[in-house]
């Protein structure tokens, strides 16, 4: 028989319910929807009266709370969970972390946290197997109180999950001010059209959780469509009827052994002084700086070749936005448009940034698809810095500059230089250039081939004198000419020099190039064979 008990009946039966296990625990798995592995489970209280049958939490929990009995019931649940975990550990069955609900009325009980810690010790359960779910509405009782309870829980090492996030109270602020380790987002509070406003709120919350580096679990997920949607916006942890209703211990044990396990990604540890939490606070100085003073910037997470953009500023959109709006960019990755080759350059740079813990730079080309102009290629210079890491992923901050125009100019220059070199080859001339500041000389192809000069010669002219390309008895005159050019005294020199060991006579000419402020920059040298008429 199933009859809803009234308040009087519940109060009368409560002691028996605790003592004889009429109040017991069911377990609902938490699953990584991307991998199908189990990441944990939630312990949910049930009351099965021997005569009246099953009672539901929505009926009896408010009654227990009102009558100050929830505390005892919650401790009973916690103890049952410890007993279960102990059994698993004794039988060498690897358990998953089990989260236990903490009523907001437990928060008023000064000794609740100590009590559960005592139970944990009594059954000798490693604390990593026990999580505590605290509901968002607990904050109604005052932030200081909740904060102090969270601190107590953390001091003992319990992972704290914020339950029913989004149910209303003050969501964003609560999250900002409370140190929770996991966020549980209840789909039922935000249901309706996931493509519309509901979806916008959900994806904003998921984004925010990511900026905070806090793992997020979607609760109450009933359909594959919902789960896929959540995954698509970056929330892969799912708890709900889609995977399993809350089930009794034996059934849960079977599921737990059947499925593979994996840990939930822990919160990001920020490696720099930057507080990522402030990045989503629209009024923070960090946001102001991010948006206004730093040029194009992006924050993204990275794990084994996969990256996900978490945040971009307006200038990023302008630099490489390709006509996309922010939301569209957030759905892409920072590799967008890169081919294998450029991708490799980028990921190598990420690795360097991880290794050096310093800023690293790379230039990569990507194909962009602009809605108005069709396809185009752009070159982006990225200054990349790692700002956070977990056991399993990294957080990066990159400043980007679109350097396509600069690159194109350079390429054109390179092209014309190449043509120039071909022309020299045709004209029977040996040519080279010397960068005065660095004393680096670059010879033409013919010099390299006929005179065996390497493609880059350092410490010019000393090194070529030593190599006897310029004969030693001409070294002094030769050095003088170079000095005169270097100091800008003359614009050009011309002399006949017997070159190489064979002393073959050449006209050697130098021309000076100055920079825009008139300082000597380069000299161009050429040598042509002296032909007797």
Stretch that binds Ca ion, among 83-91, 218-226, 332-340, 365-373 (CB under 5 A): 218-226
For ligand C2E, how many residues bind (rule: CB under 6 A)?
A: 20
For position 45 contacting ligand C2E by CB under 6 A, the verdict is: yes
According to DSSP, residue 96 is labeled P
101 versus 481: smaller Cβ distance to Ca ion: 101
Judge whether 36 and 29 are in contact, CB under 8 Å.
no
For Ca ion, how many residues bind (rule: CB under 5 A)?
A: 6
Stretch that binds ligand C2E, among 69-77, 322-330, 437-445, 481-489 (CB under 6 A): 69-77
Q: How far is the CB of 254 from Ca ion (least distance, A)?
A: 23
Q: How far is the CB of 107 from ligand C2E (least distance, A)?
A: 11
163 versus 319: smaller Cβ distance to ligand C2E: 163
Neighbouring residues of 74: CB distance < 8 A, sequence distance ≥ 6: 45, 100, 101, 102, 103, 106, 112
CB under 5 to 8 A by kind: which of Ca ion, ligand C2E, none does 45 bind? ligand C2E
CB under 5 to 8 A by kind: which of ligand C2E, Ca ion, none does 461 bind? none
Neighbouring residues of 181: CB distance < 8 A, sequence distance ≥ 6: 159, 160, 161, 214, 215, 266, 267
Stretch that binds Ca ion, among 75-83, 217-225, 384-392, 454-462 (CB under 5 A): 217-225
- The per-residue DSSP string of 158-178 comes to -EEEEEEETSSSSHHHHHHHS
61 versus 379: smaller Cβ distance to ligand C2E: 61
For position 461 contacting ligand C2E by CB under 6 A, the verdict is: no
DSSP-derived 3-state class of residue 421:
helix
Find, among 150, 152, 151, the residue nearest to 163 by Cα.
150
For position 103 contacting ligand C2E by CB under 6 A, the verdict is: yes
Judge whether 102 and 269 are in contact, CB under 8 Å.
no
According to DSSP, residue 157 is labeled T
CB under 5 to 8 A by kind: which of Ca ion, ligand C2E, none does 214 bind? none
- φ/ψ of 362, rounded to 5, equals -145, 160
For position 117 contacting Ca ion by CB under 5 A, the verdict is: no
Q: How far is the CB of 74 from ligand C2E (least distance, A)?
A: 5
For position 164 contacting ligand C2E by CB under 6 A, the verdict is: yes
Question: CA 480 to CA 487: how far, in whole Å?
Answer: 11
- φ/ψ of 335, rounded to 5, equals -85, 0
Question: CA 127 to CA 30: how far, in whole Å?
Answer: 18
Burial group, residue 171, by CB count within 10 angstroms (0-12, 13-18, 19+): buried
Judge whether 344 and 364 are in contact, CB under 8 Å.
no
Helix orientation angle between 70-90 and 7-19, rounded to the nearest 10 degrees: 30
Judge whether 72 and 110 are in contact, CB under 8 Å.
no
Stretch that binds ligand C2E, among 55-63, 111-119, 196-204, 456-464 (CB under 6 A): 55-63
Stretch that binds ligand C2E, among 12-20, 53-61, 340-348, 436-444 (CB under 6 A): 53-61
Stretch that binds Ca ion, among 96-104, 386-394, 414-422, 440-448 (CB under 5 A): 96-104
Q: How far is the CB of 159 from ligand C2E (least distance, A)?
A: 16
One symbol per residue from 149 to 188: x for binding Ca ion (CB under 5 A), - otherwise; what is it?
A: --------------xx---------------------x--
The only residue of 55, 80, 101, 382 in contact with ligand C2E, by rule CB under 6 A: 101
Q: How far is the CB of 60 from Ca ion (least distance, A)?
A: 16
Q: Which pair of tokens denotes residue 525?
A: 């040298």
According to DSSP, residue 278 is labeled G
- Which positions touch ligand C2E (CB under 6 A)? 28, 44-45, 56-58, 61, 70, 74, 77, 101, 103, 163-164, 220-222, 240-241, 246
């Amino acid at each position: 028989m199933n009859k809803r008990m009234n308040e009087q009946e519940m109060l009368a039966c409560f002691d028996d319910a605790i003592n004889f296990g009429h109040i017991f625990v069911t377990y609902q798995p938490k699953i990584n929807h991307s991998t199908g592995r189990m990441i944990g489970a939630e312990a949910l209280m049930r009351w099965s009266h021997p005569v009246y049958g099953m009672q539901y939490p929505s009926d009896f929990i408010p009654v227990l709370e009102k009558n100050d009995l929830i505390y005892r019931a919650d401790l009973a649940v916690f103890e049952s969970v410890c007993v279960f975990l102990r059994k698993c550990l004794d039988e060498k069955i690897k358990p998953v972390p089990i989260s236990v609900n903490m009523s907001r009325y437990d928060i008023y009980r000064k000794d609740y946290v100590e009590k559960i810690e005592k139970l944990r010790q009594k059954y000798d359960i490693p604390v990593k197997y026990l999580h505590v779910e605290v509901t968002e509405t607990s904050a109604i009782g005052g932030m200081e109180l909740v904060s102090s309870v969270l601190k107590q829980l953390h001091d003992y090492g319990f992972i704290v999950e914020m339950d029913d996030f989004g149910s209303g109270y003050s969501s964003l602020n609560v999250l900002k001010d409370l140190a929770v380790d996991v966020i549980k987002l209840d789909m039922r509070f935000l249901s309706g059209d996931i493509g519309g406003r509901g979806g916008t709120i959900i994806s904003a919350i998921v984004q925010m959780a990511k900026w905070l580096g806090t793992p997020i679990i979607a609760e109450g997920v009933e359909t594959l469509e919902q789960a896929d949607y959540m995954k698509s916006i970056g929330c892969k942890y799912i708890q709900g009827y889609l995977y399993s209703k809350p089930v009794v211990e034996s059934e849960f044990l079977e599921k737990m052994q059947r499925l593979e396990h994996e840990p939930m990604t822990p919160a990001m540890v920020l490696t720099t002084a930057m507080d990522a939490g402030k990045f989503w606070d629209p009024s923070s100085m960090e946001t102001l700086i991010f948006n206004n003073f730093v040029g194009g910037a992006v924050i993204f997470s990275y794990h084994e070749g996969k990256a996900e953009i978490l945040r971009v500023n307006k200038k990023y959109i302008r630099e490489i936005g390709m006509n996309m709006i922010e939301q569209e960019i957030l759905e892409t990755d920072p590799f967008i448009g890169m081919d294998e080759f450029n991708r490799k350059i980028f990921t190598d740079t990420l690795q360097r940034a991880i290794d050096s813990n310093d800023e690293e730079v790379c230039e990569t080309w990507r194909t962009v698809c602009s809605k108005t102009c069709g396809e185009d290629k752009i070159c982006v210079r990225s200054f990349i810095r790692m700002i956070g890491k977990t056991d399993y992923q990294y957080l990066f901050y990159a400043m980007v500059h679109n350097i396509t125009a600069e690159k194109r100019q350079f390429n054109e220059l390179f092209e014309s230089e190449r043509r120039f070199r071909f022309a020299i080859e045709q004209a029977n001339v040996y040519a080279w250039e010397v960068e005065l500041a660095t004393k680096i000389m670059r010879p033409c192809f013919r010099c390299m081939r006929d005179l065996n000069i390497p493609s880059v010669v350092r410490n010019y002219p000393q090194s070529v004198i030593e190599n006897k390309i310029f004969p030693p008895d001409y070294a002094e005159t030769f050095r003088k000419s170079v000095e005169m050019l270097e100091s800008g005294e003359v614009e050009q020199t011309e002399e006949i020099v017997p070159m190489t060991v064979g002393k073959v006579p050449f006209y050697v000419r130098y021309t000076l190039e100055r920079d825009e402020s008139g300082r000597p920059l380069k000299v161009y040298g050429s040598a042509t064979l002296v032909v007797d008429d």
